[in-house]
Structures are given as structure tokens and as C-alpha cells.
Amino acid sequence: MSKLVQVKNVFKSFGDIHAVNGVSLDIQEGQFYSLLGPSGCGKTTLLRLIAGFEKPTSGQVFIDNTSMDNIEPNLRPTNMVFQNYAIFPHLNVEENVAYGLRNKSEKKSDQNKLVDEALELVGLSGLNKRSANALSGGQKQRVALARALILKPKVLLLDEPLSALDKKLREQMQSELRHLQRAVGITFILVTHDQYEALTMSDRVAVMFDGKVAQEASPRDLYELPNSQKVASFIGEMTFIKGEIVGENKNLQVQSEIFGKITIDKSRVFGQSSKKMVLGIRPEKIAIVPKTSRSKDLISGKIIDVSYFGETTNYKVSCGTIETLTISSQNSVGQLSYSVGEEIQLKADMNNIIAFSV
Amino acid sequence: MMFLLSFWTQDYLILDKTFTLNNYIEAFTQPVYQLLFSRSLYISLTVTFFTVLLAYPMAYFISFYGGNRKALWLFLITIPFWTSYLLRMFLWKVILGYNGVLNSFLLWLEMITEPLTFILYNSNAVIIALTHGWAPFAILPIFVSLEKIDRSLLEASRDLGDGPIKQFFRVILPLSMPGVVGAALIIFIPTVGDYITPKLVGGTDGLMIANMIQVQFSKANNAPLAAALSVSSLVIVAFISIVFVLINKKHLRRY
């Protein structure tokens, strides 16, 4: 695998607004890469810089070891699926899909064959002559995909392509996109604000805040080992507890009211500037155990809030301190349900606690 | 009333109300009327062509490069309307005349040795004056249709390999055709029947059908013939407009 797209210390400002504020990324060939972040974090601008619709204020973009400095979008080895799909309303499905091909020198009969293949790939066979305005959102999405993929770009850029679809269709398209990417082997760069979309689809995710990359990792590492409180709370939920360092050798000993004195491996410590630390734990790493269990590191508490989500239930538990724990419990076979006010016992998986600097 | 009138006959002071097609036969067979009809069509089609040709770049500029000053640009375009149409047409006499601004300027530049005469009191003068007078009306519909084009379509066309020129002919022009058709109709329909411009700057070689209708109604005292000429020109304009819309049906249908 080689580095296909390299973003080198790129800045982009619009007047006083620094949309992209010093980003460097290496994207490997054949990867499904996601840029994840809240709206206004600069992820779309970064994608548009790669596509060539914006010019960096400083820094460089390389594709296939070639600087893209003075290369116009129409000459870049990239194609884009736009957020609103940008299907040409005056052309039918076939003409839309063939749009880019018409700029190439191949014979028209060969091009028509490619169009049919592309339509089959995205599951729109037989809709060749359908007017663009008669398409549903999902179909427009597929036309946009076919139109970009037919040109066999080195990089396919997807700008929040699924955000306009309803939940069911979105989930279906997520898995289809993933399969499509594996089938065609083209590098995909996806911009999304949906953390679950990024986690389920990508090989690698870059989380962006305020024009900067906060963390770049595989989906699993991103969830299990977020490197800051901000990333941790953006990707799923996390409970934060104040703690203080009481000892340090190969590992770190941290004292906190709820967990007591615990040992945290150095690989799970992010930033260490003072004695004060913040401990984080994911809601599903805490289990509710029967009241009859006896073990030394059990935490007892009282349920103060219950949110039912179908397959899981979230409990907020007060443990006699200012802080509350959030627990996510799978509603699987045999799982008891609890109600507000009940006294329960908890067992936290101490190996999954992460320590952040304050 | 006018329609009925066109089937009657004027007999000095009395109006003969027996049904006759003679007025129409005269309107379509007399060389003078044929000439006036064809000149009117020639002038207004030429005016339409040049107006749209001139208005398109202006509308394009305002829409794509107007930034946040679009309203100001549109406002500036309306400035000619602050004076009366008559006055504006009259001023073309001052500009195009034998001793007019244009000739004096060209003489001063020594680009010509004697004043140009083909620019006033003929069809050319009417075309120039009408094109100027109607341009703002063409800019607006074209501007609106350009504004309606989703900018991401332009990016998509670049992304799919179009350079700026291809992009214009493959995306911008087809998507702005409704505005162009609208502008063309707005210019063509009223200019065919324009009366004041040829009267002021057309001399005798630039007269149009409306001038003849006016003469027939007043001096010649032949209201039925004038009515027949009016109805004929109405039918011709309607026919050409419909043909024009049908030709562009492809572009208009999809919105």
C-alpha cells in the first residue's frame, strides 16, 4: 500500500474564518477514509481542497505524488459525489452517467456499454431514459455514484452523501457503499458528521474540530482509545469522573471517589500536566450486578434516570457524590430492568478506563 | 370590434357593413404592405437577436460575478427608465445624426473623412435604438434563470472534466434557455408593432407596419384596412412566437 493522497500542512481561510487550520494527512491507496466532525469543523472544505474547488491559503495537496497546486478540478484524478447529488436536471439518467465520458475519446458504443455496466453496478439497470427529475433521493444518489465511478478516478470524494436519506435507506446505502468500495478498489474519502456512519464504513477515520485533526485512527481505536475528552464525547458517550494521581511507576495510580484507587496502563493515559486527571469510561463497560454479589470493587448507587432505546436501556446512577455514572445495558435475554429510585450494585471494567489531562 | 371592422369597407364617410375579405387580400398582396410586414419582422427579429446577445453577458456577469452587489447592478440597469422612452429615442437622433455625437467623434479621431449616413433614418437606426431601449427587459429574465442554476451543478461539470467553455455550453446555456426564450418573446412581440421608434429615427426607409396602420386609421381614413393590417400582424406575431416556443420546448419542458 502506498500513500495516494497526501495533505501537507494545509491552511484555508475565508476572510477571518480559518476553515482548515494546519491539516496533514496521509491516505493510503484503496482505503475507505472518513473525515468526521461537527458542522463547521472544516471537513467539507478539506474535501473541496482535495477536489480542487478551493485553493489552499498555504500548504499542499499531493495525489499520487503529484502536487495539485495548479491543477484545475477537471484535470484532477478525483471525482466527487455531491451532498445534494448535483444531478443535471436537463439530462436523463444515461446522459448524466455518461457526462464525464463524453469528454474522453473512446468510441460512443464503448461508452454506452460502460454506462450500462455502471448502472448495473449501482442497481439502476433499465432506467437509462428516465428523466433526472423523476428520480427519488436514493436513485439520485446512485446516479451520482455511477457518474463518478464510471470515470475510474483514483480517489472518489463523497460529501455527506447519505445525510439526505431516511434512516432505513441510509443504513442500506452504508453497507452498499462499503461493498462497492471493496468491489471497485478505489480509494474513497467520505465526509460525514455521523459518527456511526464513520465507524461502520471506514478503514480509517480522522476526527476534526475547528479546522484541525484531533485524532486519526482506525474506528476501533477511535472508540476504545480516544485521545481527548472532546473526541471521546463526540464518538459515542462517555462518563467523566475527576481523579488525582497518587502514584506513578510503569503505570499510573489514580484515586477517585467512585472508583477508589485504580491502576491505569500508560497507553491509556492522554496528556499529563498536573496531579489532577479526568477518568473516562464508556457506558457499556459498566454492568449492573445482582445485589447478592460480593466483591471488593463493587460500586453501589441509586438510579436517578432511565432512558429506554429498544435494544438498550441507559441508566443514570448517583453514587453518593456530585458525579453520576451513565450505564448502558443490553436488553438481552434474562436482563432485568430497573426503575428510578432503585438501589443497585455496579461493576466497572477498570481495564477500560482512560485517563485524560484536565 | 377591430376584428369586425376588418371585414367591412370604408366608403368615404359611410362604413359599409357587408362582409368582405378584400381588406385582407389587399394587406397580403399589395407590395407596400408586404414590404412593411417583412421589414417589421426583419427589424424586430434582428433586435431580438442582438438584445439577447448583449443582455446575456450582462446577466451572466451580474449573476456570477455580482457578489453581494447584485442588487446594485440591477438597480443601475434600471437607470435608463428614469427618463421617458420618447426622450431616449430622441437622443439617438443626437447621437447618430449627420452632425451628431458619433460622427463628430469619429471625424475628430480621423477614422472617417465624411459623416456616416447609413446610421440614421433607416432600418439600422431603428435596430440600434430598439436594441438599446429593450435590453434591460432581456437582462432580467436571463438573470433570473442564471440565478436559479444550482452552483453545485457547475462544480459537478468541472469535476467530470469540463473546461469553462464546455461547461457553458453543456450546463449553463441549456439551463438558462427558459430565460433566453422568455427574453426573446418579451422583445420580439412588442418590437414588431413598435410605432414611435421608426417614426423618430427610421426616416422613410425605416418605417414599420405600425406606422402604416396609424396612417390608415388617421390620414388615409381607411379604418377597415388598418384593422385588417393589425389583425394580420397579430396573427403573424402569434404564429412566430408559437413556433419559437415549440422549437425550445425541449428546454422548457423539464422545469
The CATH number of whichever domain residue B98 belongs to comes to 1.10.3720.10
User: Cα distance from B153 to chain A (closest Cα, Å)?
Assistant: 5
CB contact under 8 A, B161 and A133: no
| B233/A356 Cα distance (integer angstroms) | 85
Q: Residue B14: which residues within 8 A CB-CB, separation 6 or more?
A: none
CB contact under 8 A, A147 and B160: yes
Q: Residue A61: which residues within 8 A CB-CB, separation 6 or more?
A: A5, A6, A7, A8, A10, A49, A50, A67, A68, A69
Average pLDDT over residues A151-160: 93
pLDDT averaged over every residue in chain A: 90
| Residue A273, H or E segment | none
Would you tell me which residues 29-88 of chain B have a C-beta closer than 8 angstroms to some C-beta of chain A? none
Low-confidence winner among A30-44, A47-61, A204-218, B218-232 (lowest mean pLDDT): B218-232
Residue B245 has φ and ψ, to the nearest 5°, of: -65, -40
Please report the pLDDT score of residue A275 as a whole number.
Answer: 84
Q: What is the identity of the amino acid at A188?
A: F
| B127/B46 Cα distance (integer angstroms) | 7
Strand, helix or coil at B19?
coil
Residue B117 pLDDT greater than 90, yes or no: no
A189-240 pLDDT, tens digit each: 999 999 999 999 999 999 999 999 999 999 999 999 999 999 999 998 899 9
| A89/B178 Cα distance (integer angstroms) | 13
Boundaries of domain holding B121 = 34-211
Confidence category of residue B168, pLDDT binned at 50, 70, 90: very high
**Would you kindly state where each structural domain of chain A is located, as residue ranges?**
3-227, 237-357
* Superfamily per CATH, domain A3-227: P-loop containing nucleotide triphosphate hydrolases (3.40.50.300)
Q: Is B252 on the interface with A (CB under 8 A)?
A: no
Confidence category of residue B253, pLDDT binned at 50, 70, 90: low
User: Cα distance from A177 to chain B (closest Cα, Å)?
Assistant: 20
User: Cα distance from A55 to chain B (closest Cα, Å)?
Assistant: 14
DSSP annotation of B169 reads: I
Please report the pLDDT score of residue A145 as a whole number.
Answer: 92
CB contact under 8 A, A74 and B155: no
Residue A76 pLDDT greater than 80, yes or no: yes
Classify burial at B244, counting beta carbons within 10 Å of its beta carbon; exposed 0-12, middle 13-18, buried 19 or more.
middle
Would you tell me which residues 142-181 of chain B have a C-beta closer than 8 angstroms to some C-beta of chain A? 150, 152-153, 155-163, 166, 170-171, 174-175
Q: Residue B137: which residues within 8 A CB-CB, separation 6 or more?
A: B51, B183, B186, B187
Residues of B in contact with A147 (CB under 8 A): 160
Which of A31, A25, A29 shows the shortest CA–CA distance to A202? Answer: A31
Confidence category of residue B250, pLDDT binned at 50, 70, 90: low
Residue B255 pLDDT greater than 50, yes or no: no
Residue A296 pLDDT greater than 80, yes or no: no
Residues of A in contact with B158 (CB under 8 A): 53, 72-74
CA distances from B60 to A10, A53, B144, B172, B255 (A): 33, 20, 10, 10, 20
Please report the pLDDT score of residue B17 as a whole number.
Answer: 80
Residues of A in contact with B161 (CB under 8 A): 74, 100, 103-104, 151
How many domains does the structure of chain B reveal?
1
DSSP annotation of A92 reads: B
Residues of B in contact with A53 (CB under 8 A): 155, 158-159
Residue A160 has φ and ψ, to the nearest 5°, of: 40, 55
| B246/A220 Cα distance (integer angstroms) | 61
Same fold, A3-227 and A237-357: no
Low-confidence winner among A268-272, A295-299, B193-197 (lowest mean pLDDT): A295-299
Strand, helix or coil at B58?
helix
CB contact under 8 A, B251 and A82: no
Q: Looking at the DSSP assignment, which residues form a beta bridge with residue A278?
A: A242, A356
Average pLDDT over residues A84-92: 92
Q: Residue A209: which residues within 8 A CB-CB, separation 6 or more?
A: A37, A38, A41, A230, A234
pLDDT averaged over every residue in chain B: 87
* CATH architecture for residues A237-357: Beta Barrel (2.40)
Interface A-B: count of C-beta contacts within 8 A: 61
CB contact under 8 A, A78 and B171: no
CA distances from A156 to A38, A142, B247 (A): 22, 14, 39
Best residue of B160, B172, B175, B251 to probe chain A, by most A CBs closer than 10 Å = B160
Confidence category of residue B183, pLDDT binned at 50, 70, 90: very high
Residue B78 pLDDT greater than 50, yes or no: yes
A121-141 pLDDT, tens digit each: 888 888 889 988 889 888 999
Q: ipTM of this predicted complex?
A: 0.81
- Cell numbers 485504580 correspond to A262
| Residue A276, H or E segment | strand A276-281
CA distances from A105 to A153, A168, B158 (A): 16, 40, 17
CA A133, A136, A137, A138 torsion-angle sign: negative
Which of A258, A252, A297 shows the shortest CA–CA distance to A276? Answer: A252
| Residue A202, H or E segment | none
Does B204 reside within a domain? yes
Does B141 reside within a domain? yes
